Amino acid sequence: MDSERTEEYLEAIYKEQSKGESASTSFLARDLGVSQPAVTDMLKNLESKGLIVYKSSQGATLTDIGVERALGVIRQHRLWERFLTDILGMSWDKVHDVACKLEHLDVPEVEERLAVLLGDTDTCPHGHAIPDKNGNIKRDKTIPLTKFQPLQRVNIVAIDEGDSGLLREIEKKGLKPQVIVTIKKKNEDGSMEIEAGNKKISLKPQLAAILLAEPVAANKLIAAKTETTLSKLDAGNTAILKEYTGERNLLGRCLSLGFTPGSVIKMLENYNSGPVLVKVHDTAVALGRDLADHITVTRTENAC
Amino acid sequence: MLGKPENKMIIVALAGAPNTGKSTVFNLLTGLSQHVGNWPGKTIEQKTGSVHRGNLTMNIVDLPGTYSLTANSAEEQIARDYLVKENPDLVVAVLNAASLERNLYLVAELIELSPRLVIALNMMDVAQQQGMKIDAKALGQELNIPVIPIVASKNQGLDELLTAIEQEYHQPLGSRQLKHIEYGSEIQKVIDHVAQLLDDAMTAPYPKHWTAMKLLEGDAQINKMIMGRAAGEQLSSLEAYLREHESAAVTIATLRYAWVEKMMAATQEKPPMGRVSLTERIDRVATHPVSGLFILLLVLCLIFGLVYSIGIPLQKLLELHLIEAGHNFVNAHLSAPAWVKGLLANGIISGVGTVLTFIPILMLFFAAWAFMEDVGYTARAAFVTDKFMHSLGLHGKSVLPLVLGFGCNVPAILGTRIIDSPRSRLLTILVAPLVPCTARMAVITLIAAAFFGSTAIFVAIGIVIFSLIMMIITGLILNRFVVGGEDSALLMELPLYHLPNPKIIGLVTWQNTVAFIKRAGTIILAVSVVIWILSYLPHGEINTSFLADIGKFLTPVGKLMGLNWQMMVALLSSFIAKENTLATLGTLTGGQGAALTAQLKVLLTPAAALAFLVVQVLFIPCVATVAAIHHETKSWRWPLFTVAYQLLLSFAMAIIVFQIARVL
């Protein structure tokens, strides 16, 4: 169980470090629910193993070996979360705690098979990037929603999953990763008014604080470059329908099946010849390739 | 009348998109009380049935499954014309809770017609498995329409549904404030403007405002109707305005979906982002170009395995105990003139027997078909074969009816109803008779075995492949030169997989079997009697009969194929049913079984035998198939075309084969 403790520390330090801060003893004590002296003991122990650099004035930062270990644990944690939601069908507010236990299993074969089973997922259910098996992780460029200003359009990328009650509230409001929202108002107390689609949503301070987002402007730039036809979208990717350019007599059928501008389309299967299979408005629809050639879309995934 | 409750009859229309379990709801509500017919002038099935509840009799009309009420297809036109013209007392919208977003779109359209509406929210269990939480009550409040959650596949909630229908019926019409879609001032102005250009007489029986919207949506049927009725300046200004606002169709649909989203927000908790459902997991394999085809082959092998291990033995058994026992009984125990005996044994009993002995095989095919439909596999089979089928001008959905054709061509032709593109459907109907059915296989097997010894199996397989190649070539030719119209693109929903419901499969199998007996049975019997008469008159002996005369008349053509008049008569008799070829040869040569084989060797050279196999596999489809083509195309043009085409094709091919084989 010693290694389990170690891993939890490394994970906590990593998360703090990825925000650009070093982990103070008081932060770790709060985060891990232990006393400060215990934290100090453990940090010294970790330093002696060469996993961290610890200065009592500044807190702890990970060494290269430490980062590698931490990412390994995080990878397992997020893979397990995916497994719990996608395969076992658990709701996203419950999986964090269970994954905290499973992440220490550390059997390479299990991890490998898990990754194969889950296919091409690269984020956890809460939107955080999963490090690849070589320990590379997409750089996190998100900032909390509270840092944005009114009238800015932002894309919600991830949600801090610490509090399951808050997650449930977020879900109820229809917010999830890859939803684009506009900031309407920021209040003194940290609560916010935002708009998603045409729906107004008010967020209490705790909710606004756990939403991590990135500005859409940058996204739009990429989007302009990634306008393509539906037939060229790879399986697993999502896009937003721009327009239908095919024959008028098929327009009605396309519209009634939900291919309206602005609809989110997820490509399920595309074998580069023959029909494609997409998900639109909650339903799987097969489209002939000719038809898919005549639907223009903009990709929504982040290109970095 | 006092104190006596009045018995009241109301009409309830069942509306819903495909794959909502609407038929299941209909079947459970009406059970065996249902009547299956066709919509007037259409080949689309119309099902009606009734339920009694207290002193209320509900006549339930199952509308065709539609995604919208814009006439993009014949189904949609039927559904909305019924709603507008027949004005049912109440409409039940059956929705699939697992794809509520898609399904609420239809509700958005139904509300515009302002009927009494009750929503049956079906497949609540599936939605739950998908991780969705749906609040039916909240949806009801949001829409201000009664919403009844049901699980039709488990027979749950139907009683509540009937109660709700009853209650809603007693509400005065228009007492509910339905939440119409707010189309926004801009598009509203456009709709209003179009409405101003119209007048009530022009749009009757459709409401004016509604007609205006459908015109903007590009509804072909409404457009044709209005343009036919409008004239002069009215026509030109309308045309110009519509052309100018072509994009309104997209705007209206988008606004409807926005309305749907608003309704959804209050009622559904979505599953966590990016969850991959079991269906998607299975589809990764089932729709893959390689593994998907492999699975399809496996499924087909399984079906044919069943047919050959259960269906054919059963058929043989029935032949033995029905036809032969019948013949024996008539010949041994009946004291009547010879012609009466002949008519009974060879005309009627053989005719009825042909139909009856075919039923086990048909039922197996129908059951397999219903199973695949119920589970949701049909759409996947269509998906993996679409590319190839498309190159023939066919549709992915053509593949299963054609496979059915290996059992019997009649259900294949009836089965083409699943193809929603009229053109692909017609093409499928026209090539289906070139799929060698079990009856033709039986003839091929026997004749190949008689002439080709150890290589018989290869000859038989070769003939089947030859026939399929002819089918493909025919498809290519018809697609290019004969059948007109637009090539239609594949656009279909792939429903979620679900466990099969034995009750529904049983019911569908039963209905199809009954339909086959009704449609094909009577015709086979009639033609069987006619052919017998032709074979009996004028001298009571087949060798000098009218039938023989026809055969002898065909001798010049027969000679080119190496066939004598007996073989030509045998070929002609296959028009009743393909397996009759053997029975007729038996009668003509006076031999059965091994004796027939010996006789055949006298009558035919191996080259002629090969030619006979070719001509028999490609020959005019049997009378039941021709009748089915007539029934499904609602014309005499296509069945006659098929007869003429296959007559020419079979003779031409047989002549070529014989002339080549003779030299070799």
The pLDDT value given to residue B593:
62
- pLDDT band, very low/low/confident/very high, at A112 (cuts 50, 70, 90): confident
Q: Does one domain contain both B512 and B620?
A: yes
Confidence of residue A301 (pLDDT cuts 50, 70, 90): low
The answer to whether residues B20 and B117 belong to one domain is yes
pLDDT score for B541: 74
Same-domain status, B190 and B166 = no
- Report yes or no on B558 lying in a domain: yes
Residue B434: which pLDDT band, with cuts at 50, 70 and 90? very high
Q: What's the pLDDT score for residue B119?
A: 94
Superfamily of domain covering A143-217: Ferrous iron transport protein A (FeoA) (2.30.30.90)
From the CA of B58, how many Å to the nearest CA of chain A? 30
pLDDT at residue B298 in the model: 92
Shortest CA distance to B389 belongs to which of B436, B433, B431?
Answer: B431
- Residue A173 C-alpha, separation from nearest chain B C-alpha, in angstroms: 8
Maximum C-alpha span of chain A: 74
Tell me the angle at which helices B456-477 and B606-618 cross, rounded to the nearest 10 degrees. 40
Cβ contact A291–B490 (<8 Å): yes
**B395 and B458 in a common domain:** yes
Residue B254 shares a structural domain with residue B363 = no
Contacts of A281 in chain B (CB under 8 A): 99, 101-102, 257
Residue B53 bridge partners (DSSP):
B56
Name the minimum distance, in Å, from the CA of A127 to any CA of chain B.
9
Contact B357, B315 (CB under 8 A): yes
B218 with A252: Cβ contact below 8 A: yes
Give A274 to chain B, closest Cα distance, Å: 5
Whole-number pLDDT of residue B170: 87
Which of A86, A178, A258 has its CB closest to that of B275? A86
Residue B489 falls inside a structural domain = no
Q: Are the Cβ atoms of B274 and A258 closer than 8 angstroms? A: no
> Are B386 and A274 an interchain contact pair (Cβ–Cβ within 8 Å)?
yes
Is the CB of B279 less than 8 angstroms away from the CB of A274? no
Same-domain status, B454 and B588: yes
Residues of A in contact with B270 (CB under 8 A): 171, 174, 176
**Whether residue B99 sits in one domain with residue B136:** yes
pLDDT band at B515 (very low <50, low <70, confident <90, very high): confident
Q: Per residue in B132-162, pLDDT tens? A: 888 888 889 888 899 999 998 888 899 999 9
Higher pLDDT, B544 or B61: B61
Cβ contacts (< 8 Å) between A199 and chain B: which residues? 261-262, 265
SS3 at position A301 = coil
Do B254 and A275 lie within an 8 Å CB cutoff? no
Range of the domain at B100: 8-170
Taking 90 as the threshold, does the pLDDT of residue B429 lie above it?
yes
| Integer Cα distance of B254 and B262 in angstroms | 12
Same structural domain for residues B310 and B445? yes
Decide whether A2-62 matches A226-299 in CATH topology: no
Residue whose C-alpha is closest to residue B430's, from B371, B469, B471, B389:
B471
Concatenating the DSSP letter of every residue in A141-172 gives: --EEGGGS-TT-EEEEEEE--S-HHHHHHHHH
User: Which of B128-131's residues contact partners 24+ apart within 8 Å by CB, and which partners?
Assistant: B129/A89, B129/B278, B130/B98, B130/B271, B130/B277, B130/B496, B131/A89, B131/A91, B131/B271, B131/B272, B131/B275
**For position A303, what pLDDT does the model report?**
36
- Cα separation of the two ends of chain A: 37
For residue B397, give how far its alpha carbon lies from the nearest alpha carbon of chain A (Å): 12
pLDDT, tens digit, 9 for 90 and up, residues B242-259: 888 888 888 888 888 888
Give the nearest chain B residue to A236 (CA atoms): B274
User: Which pLDDT belongs to residue B657?
Assistant: 92
pLDDT on residue B1: 43
Residue B41 lies in a domain: yes
Question: Which tens digit of pLDDT belongs to each residue from B292-331?
Answer: 999 999 998 888 888 878 888 888 888 888 777 887 888 7
pLDDT tens-place string over residues A174-191: 888 888 888 888 888 888
Chain length of chain B: 664
Q: Are both B306 and B220 inside the same structural domain?
A: no
A134 touches chain B (CB under 8 A): no
At which of B235, B269, B303 does a domain end? B269
Whether residue B279 lies inside any domain: the answer is no
Interface contact flag, A261 B250, Cβ < 8 Å: yes
Say how far apart CA A170 and CA B400 lie, in whole Å: 46
Q: What angle do CA B268, B270, B274 make, to 5 degrees?
A: 165
Instruction: Name the strand (E) or helix (H) holding A111.
Output: helix A108-118
Both B164 and B188 in one domain: the answer is no
Is there a contact between B39 and B48 (Cβ–Cβ < 8 Å)?
no
Contacts of B320 (CB under 8 A, 6+ apart): none
**Does A287 sit within 8 Å of B489, measured CB to CB?**
yes
Residue B244: per-residue pLDDT: 85
Q: Which of B258, B276, B386 sits opposite A275 (nearest CB)?
A: B386
| Shortest Cα distance, chain B CAs vs residue A56, angstroms | 41
Rounded to the nearest angstrom, the minimum Cα separation between B157 and chain A is 24
Q: Any CB–CB contact under 8 A between A117 and chain B?
A: no
Q: pLDDT, tens digit, for every residue of B167-201? A: 988 887 767 777 777 777 778 888 889 988 888 88
Q: Is the distance from CB of A89 to CB of A123 less than 8 angstroms?
A: no
Q: For the segment B335-366, what is each residue's pLDDT rounded down to a tens digit?
A: 778 778 878 877 788 777 777 877 888 888 88
Is A282 in Cβ contact with B102 (below 8 Å)?
A: yes
Task: Mark residue A236 as left, alpha or beta (left: phi above 0; alpha: psi -120 to 50; beta: remaining).
Answer: left
B287:A269 CB<8 A: yes
Task: Write the residue in A172, A261, A290 that is nearest to B254 by C-beta.
Answer: A261
The CATH number of the domain covering residues in A226-299: 2.30.30.90
Q: Do strands A179-186 and A192-196 pair parallel, antiparallel, or not at all (unpaired)?
A: antiparallel
**Phi, psi for residue A187 in degrees, rounded to 5:** -100, 165
Q: Which residue among B170, B202, B227 closes a domain?
A: B170
Q: Count CB-CB contacts under 10 A for residue A196.
A: 17
> Environment class of residue B78 by beta-carbon count within 10 Å: exposed (0-12), middle (13-18) or buried (19+)?
buried
Q: Determine the pLDDT at residue A302.
A: 43
| Beta bridge mates, B118 | B92
A185 beta partners: A193
Cα–Cα distance, A275 to A278 (Å, whole number): 10
B2 falls within a domain: no
For the entire predicted model, the pTM comes to: 0.69
Query: How far apart, in whole angstroms, are the C-alpha atoms of residue A116 and residue A132?
Result: 12
Residue B391 sits in the same domain as residue B457: yes
User: In chain A, which residue's Cα lies nearest the Cα of B19?
Assistant: A283
How is chain A split into domains, by residue range?
2-62, 143-217, 226-299
Q: How far apart are CA B617 and CA B619, in angstroms?
A: 6
Amino acid type, B83: L
Distance, CA of A235 to CA of B399 (rounded, Å): 26
Give domain status of residue B200, yes or no. yes
Q: Is residue B278 part of a domain?
A: no
Mean pLDDT of B37-55: 79
State whether the Cα torsion B495-B499-B500-B502 is positive or negative. negative
- Residue B421: inside a domain, yes or no? yes
Q: Is the pLDDT of residue B65 over 80?
A: yes
The nearest alpha carbon in chain A to B260 belongs to A281
Interface of A with B in 227-246 (CB under 8 A): 243-244, 246
Q: How far is B384 from chain A (nearest CA, A)?
A: 8
CA–CA–CA angle A268, A272, A277 (5° rounding): 25
Of A92, A253, A274, the CB nearest to B272: A92
Contacts of A288 in chain B (CB under 8 A): 386, 390, 489-491
How many domains does one find in chain B?
Answer: 3
Q: Which of A244-253, B362-371, B577-586 has the lowest mean pLDDT?
A: B577-586
For the structural domain made of A2-62, what CATH number should be given?
1.10.10.10
Cβ pair A288:B99 closer than 8 A: no
- Best B269, B280, B390, B420 member to test A by mutation, with max A CBs in 10 Å, is B280
Name the residue among B471, B464, B316, B315 with its Cα closest to residue B394.
B471
One domain for residues B102 and B41: yes
Q: Which residues of A touch B129 (CB under 8 A)?
A: 89
Mean pLDDT of the region B276-298: 87
Cα distance between residue B122 and residue B94, in whole Å = 7
